[in-house]
Structures are given as C-alpha cells and as structure tokens.
C-alpha cells in the first residue's frame, strides 16, 4: 500500500550515532583500574567504537562471532558494547565472580573468539588460558603493559587495536533481529544459561527504560550505573544513556560507599542504579562523614527486594527517591517499575510505604500474570499468590544453544520462578523465589518480608530466612542474622520486633547468629546452601 513509513532497522549503532551527532560533547567520566580518571565524551566513544569494530574485522572475526568481556564499568567497556554490536558481532559480558569452572563453561559454551579483560582480571585469563581453545585473542583493555606480556605472551593491547582501526569505517546495516549481546544467568543450580539479546529487543528495551513511568532518563541526567556492565548489560543503562544523550559516570572498581560518594558529588550525578547492598554502603559513608548528596535525585534499586528501611533513610535524610524495579537476565532486565498512579498520590505515609516495597507495575511492552501449580490463571486481587509469568518485546524465547527448554509455559509465556501477588492495578509483590518458598502447615510464609523487617533493624547487617524441616508443620521459618560489631541483640528482642508486623504464624521459630551469609555472583543469597547447612536445625 502507498504512503507507509521508512523501514529502518532498530540497530544499536543508531544509538551511538545519535549520541555522537546530537550529544557529542556530553561527558563520559570513567574510573580506570588504577583509580585514575578518564574524561571523554559520546563523540569519542563513537569514533573509538568504530575503530574497534573495524580492527575486529581485521583480526578475522565474522558476523555473529562472540566477543567476551571481563571488565569493570569504564569507557573501554562502553566502546566494546557499541563496537562489537555495531560491527555485527556479539558482546558477551562475563561476571568475574563466577567460579573458575563456570567461567570456562560460559566461554566455551558461547564459543567466544575474543576475550577483552581489564588488568584486574589478568589472573583469570592466565588461569583459563589452557581451557578456552576457541579464544583466538586475549585483549588487555589498556595500553601496552609489560606485566601482562610476561603473564600472557600472546596478549594484545586495546589501545594498539584502536590505533590499527579504520577512522572512515561506516557502521553496517543488517536485520534488526540479529543478535547483539549475550548474558548468562547466575546459575545457582546447574550450568549458567545464556540469554541472547537482539538489536531490536535492545532498542525497544531502551525506549522502555527512558520512559517517565519507567526509569525516566533525559539529556539532563548524569547516570552512575553502579550495577556492573557484566550484570544484564548494567540494566540497559549504557544503551538508554546513548538514546537520551545523558552523561555516564562509570565508577570502575570503586564500588565502596566512600568512592561512590566522592564520584556522585564531584561529577554532580543525578541518578544511581544498583542492588541494595551497595546503597547500604553509601548510606554508611554518608553517615560517617556527615556529607550530603544534593545533586542525586533518585536511585534505582533492583536485583533483590528493597527493604523499607533503605527507602526511608534515603528519602527522609537525603531527599533521594528510591525507584524500586524488578527484572531478570531473561527480561533484559526491566520488567516492573514502581511508579505511582494518580490514585496513590494522596495516600497516607503508611500506605505509601506499603506500596514502596512492591516491585511495581509493568511498563508498556511487558505483560504479566500469575499461575497456580496446575497452570491455572489466578486472580489479580493482591492476595492470591502464584508464579509470576511474563511476556513481552524483550523477554527471552529460548535459552542460547540449549536444546530442551523447560522454562517457557506451554502458551509462550516465560515462567519466572518468582512467587508473587498482583493487585487490580497490576502492582506486583514478589514474596519469594519458588524454590525458596516456606510452606508451613499448608500456608505460605514470605521469607522476603521477614528478611526486610530484620534488615530494617540498625544492628542487623544481613539477614536470611529459610524454611527448616519441622515434624508437625513440615517447614517453619528460621532467621539467620549477621549482627553489627559490638551488638548484643538477643533472639527474643529480634523476634519481639515482628509482633504486630506480620501474622503470628510467620514469626520465625529460631534466630541463628552467623558471621556472614553466602551470596552468589550477583549478590543474591544462596539459600540452597543455607538449607543444606541449617535446614535440619529444628528436628
Ligand atoms: P539478575 O542477574 O538481574 O539479578 P537474575 O536473572 O540473576 O537477574 O535474577 C533475577 C531474579 O532476581 C528475579 O527472578 C527475582 O527473584 C530477583 N529480583 C530481581 N529484582 C528483584 C526485586 N526488586 N525484588 C525482589 N526480587 C528481585
């Protein structure tokens, strides 16, 4: 039919081209592995990303080849994001906290051809060198370095590679459904599974990320993605920043509270993003120094549930809004964002706090439902719990290169493995991971709610609730806590705090005091390990 629109593919190279053309002089601040600071901008990132893409071609890479990164959040990592995807290669970001066995597994499973590493992770590359037969070239993300050469004689240096690139390189055009990046899930049980994003899904996800009712980004923002670029593409922020021309302040290895505080104030950061433990660190640094963070407008928190104590501390003491969001590697990751509806604006403070701990509602592009064990669709009444399932433009269809896939529900929805309620407005409350639910006498008890209340206590640094086997009730909750130094908080005092805040039968049967709790590569509690160690403590 006549009179239609241009058929222009949704390509990641268009994001960086736009940022360079219309926001070229906007700063990109980057902390290097040696803590020095590099100041660059979107125009330079584009230039160097193009040179990188052309240099990778000269190394013999073919369209679709995977390039792995083990790197911090810094400007070279950003260039690799755009240079690989823009050049029609795939950027495979790897979490350095994976075990040696898992690192070897994902590199070989992805069939990575190139491995980019920051100097910090040189020992990982040395340890893996005989276990990654398909990697043609390891590239150190920096200038020539004698120590690296001594450790890995065949290593190449990123700055040499850029110097060999073609300044006149043009980004190629191709189908928007082409793969652009690859992330593996943390794999707490079994092997990690790969999620392969496309140019199309990444651009649509970026549009979602910048929307006002989502993470709400604009050209006026300066974003510090503290969430690592190896963790679901730093929640898509590098792409979304390019889409808006926002500034990026990339913190490198400086993820402690004091370093973040310095970066936020020195560069006038407006938005931060990361998992709750990072913000506990920033709060501690703020309280210790008495400093304020006047430029910071909001902090995006996800990855695990966000305790109300954290939300209140940031709002009441520092006037920073916490934006609670939910997502998974399989959802790119943004799936739910806690943004109010008009009816919520006149709520009482208590009602607003009850809302704030929810994971939020779906932005356009994501659909949600909850289902029972038998697959039946359950009511969205805010009370009935079921498995959260999602469907959308940036939700995984099949895992990368795995034949038998058991995760998609029969009718094409993705089963998240999270247990949740959904209210009439679509607000979701995640109560547990399905594998962590506590069923006591046939009733569900939310370990997340119990943990959040415990962590709200000033003298409790970390908390986990597991279902321990019980002769009469099948399972009963047991709380494990890490106390702050010098605290003499007793079991009775901790349990007394629950009275009136949760149904009586939720109150844990026991409190165990431990030195530390085990967290996996992306900061999540390893409850299977806790159940192995403490699951019989009530028998
Ligand atoms: P990521 O790598 O982004 O952490 P994973 O795929 O490893 O993603 O884990 C996703 C899981 O993290 C979700 O299924 C959910 O259990 C948990 N999660 C993410 N965000 C939240 C949140 N805001 N509240 C509670 N749980 C969350």
Strands 366-371 and 386-392: antiparallel
For residue 81 and ligand 1, the question of a CB distance below 6 A is answered with no
Q: For residue 324, give the ligand 1 atom closest to its CA.
A: 23
Which of 430, 433, 521 has most ligand 1 atoms within 8 Å of its beta carbon, as the pocket-test mutant? 430
Atom number, ligand 1, closest to the C-alpha of residue 333: 3
E strand map for 423-537: 428-433, 438-440, 443-445, 460-470, 474-483, 510-513
Q: Which atom of ligand 1 is nearest to the CA of 336?
A: 23
Backbone angles phi, psi at 488, to 5 degrees: -120, 25
Q: Which residue's CA is the closest to the ligand 1 atom numbered 27?
A: 304
Q: What is the CA radius of gyration of the chain?
A: 23
Q: Is the dihedral of CA 508, 509, 510, 516 positive or negative?
A: negative
Q: Which two tokens stand for residue 183?
A: 């992330």
Instruction: Report in angstroms the alpha-carbon separations of 175 from 63, 76, 85, 180.
Output: 12, 26, 12, 11
191: tokens are 């092997």
* C-alpha of residue 133 to centroid of ligand 1, in Å: 33
Kindly list the catalytic residues. Answer: 185, 330, 439, 444
Q: Ligand 1: distance of its center to the CA of 423 in Å?
A: 20
Q: What is the pLDDT of residue 391?
A: 96
Q: Does residue 372 contact residue 419 with C-beta atoms inside 8 Å?
A: no
Instruction: Give 248 Cα–ligand 1 centroid separation in angstroms.
Output: 24
Residues of the chain with CATH 3.30.300.30: 438-534
pLDDT of residue 436: 87
Q: Looking at residue 433, what is its pLDDT?
A: 87
What integer pLDDT is reported at residue 519 of this predicted model? Answer: 85
Distance 522 CA to ligand 1 centre (A): 9
- The domain defined by 12-27+38-211 folds into Rossmann fold (3.40.50)
Whose Cα sits closest to atom 4 in ligand 1? 303
Span from the CA of 361 to the centroid of ligand 1 (angstroms): 15
Cα 328 to ligand 1 centre (Å) = 5
- Smallest CA separation from ligand 1 atom 13, residue: 328
- Check if 304 has its Cβ closer than 6 Å to any atom of ligand 1: yes
At residue 2, the pLDDT reads 78
Measure 303 CA to ligand 1 centroid, in angstroms: 4
Please give the sequence-ordered ranges of beta strands (E in DSSP) within 13-143, or none if there are none: 27-31, 37-41, 66-70, 90-93, 112-117, 137-140
- In the prediction, which pLDDT does 189 show? 62
Name the segment(s) of the chain with CATH classification 3.40.50.12780: 12-27+38-211
d(CA 517, CA 303): 17
Q: Which residues of the chain have pLDDT under 50?
A: none
State residue 135's pLDDT score: 97
* pLDDT tens digit sequence for 27-69: 999 999 999 999 999 999 999 999 999 999 999 999 999 999 9
pTM of the model: 0.92
- Say how far apart CA 266 and CA 249 lie, in whole Å: 10
Is there an atom of ligand 1 within 6 Å of 326 CB? yes
From 328, 420, 429, the mutation candidate for ligand 1 (largest count of ligand atoms within 8 A of CB) is 328
Residue 153, C-beta contacts closer than 8 angstroms, at least 6 positions apart: none
Pocket test for ligand 1, best of 327, 329, 337 (most atoms within 8 A of CB): 327
The total number of residues written for the chain in this structure: 539
CATH 3.40.50.920 fits 438-534, yes or no: no
- Residue 532: Cβ-neighbour burial (10 angstroms; 0-12, 13-18, 19+): exposed
CB of 281 within 6 A of ligand 1: the answer is: no
Shortest-distance atom of ligand 1 to CA 186: 7
């Amino acid at each position: 039919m006549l009179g239609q629109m241009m058929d222009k593919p949704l390509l990641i190279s268009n994001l960086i081209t736009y940022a360079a053309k219309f926001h070229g002089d906007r700063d990109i601040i980057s902390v290097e592995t040696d803590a020095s600071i590099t100041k660059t901008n979107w125009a330079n990132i584009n230039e160097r990303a193009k040179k990188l893409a052309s240099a990778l071609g000269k190394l013999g890479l073919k369209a679709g080849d995977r390039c792995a990164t083990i790197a911090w959040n810094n400007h070279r990592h950003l260039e690799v994001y755009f240079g690989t995807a823009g050049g029609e290669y795939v950027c495979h970001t790897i979490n350095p906290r994976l075990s040696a066995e898992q690192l070897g597994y994902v590199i070989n499973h992805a069939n990575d051809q190139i491995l980019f590493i920051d100097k910090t992770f040189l020992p990982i590359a040395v340890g893996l060198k005989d276990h990654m037969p398909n990697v043609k070239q390891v590239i150190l993300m920096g200038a020539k370095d004698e120590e690296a050469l001594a450790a890995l004689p065949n290593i190449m240096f990123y700055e040499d590679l850029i110097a060999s690139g073609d300044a006149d390189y043009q980004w190629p055009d191709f189908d928007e459904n082409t793969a652009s990046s690859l992330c593996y899930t943390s794999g707490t049980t079994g092997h990690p599974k790969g999620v392969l994003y496309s140019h199309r899904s990444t651009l649509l996800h970026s549009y979602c990320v910048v929307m006002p009712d989502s993470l709400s980004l604009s050209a006026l923002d300066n974003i510090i993605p503290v969430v690592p670029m190896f963790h679901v593409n730093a929640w898509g922020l590098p792409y979304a920043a390019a889409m808006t021309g926002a500034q990026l302040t990339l913190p490198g290895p400086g993820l402690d509270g004091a370093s973040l505080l310095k970066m936020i104030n020195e560069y006038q950061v407006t938005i931060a993003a990361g998992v709750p433990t990072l913000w506990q660190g920033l709060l501690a640094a703020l309280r210790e120094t008495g400093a304020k963070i006047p430029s910071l407008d909001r902090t995006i928190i996800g990855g695990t549930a966000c305790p109300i104590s954290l939300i209140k501390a940031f709002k009441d003491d520092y006037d920073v809004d916490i934006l609670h969001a939910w997502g998974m590697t399989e959802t790119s990751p943004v799936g739910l964002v806690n943004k109010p509806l008009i009816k919520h604006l006149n709520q009482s403070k208590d009602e607003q706090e009850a809302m704030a701990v929810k994971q939020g509602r779906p932005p356009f592009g994501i659909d949600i439902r909850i289902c029972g064990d038998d697959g039946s669709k359950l009511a969205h009444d805010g009370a009935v719990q079921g498995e959260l399932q999602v469907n959308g433009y940036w939700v995984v269809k099949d895992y990368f290169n795995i034949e038998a896939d058991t995760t998609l529900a029969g009718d094409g929805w993705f089963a998240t493995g999270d247990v949740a309620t959904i209210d009439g407005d679509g607000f979701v409350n995640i109560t547990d991971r399905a594998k962590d639910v506590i069923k006591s006498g046939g009733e569900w008890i939310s370990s997340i709610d119990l943990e959040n209340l415990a962590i709200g206590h000033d003298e409790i640094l970390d908390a986990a609730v597991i279902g321990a086997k019980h002769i009469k009730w099948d399972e009963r909750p047991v709380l494990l806590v890490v106390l702050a130094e010098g605290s003499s908080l007793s079991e009775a005092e901790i349990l007394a705090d629950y009275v009136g805040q949760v149904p009586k039968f939720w109150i844990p049967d026991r409190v165990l005091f431990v030195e530390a709790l085990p967290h996996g590569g992306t900061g999540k509690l390893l409850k299977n390990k806790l159940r192995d160690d403490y699951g019989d403590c009530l028998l």
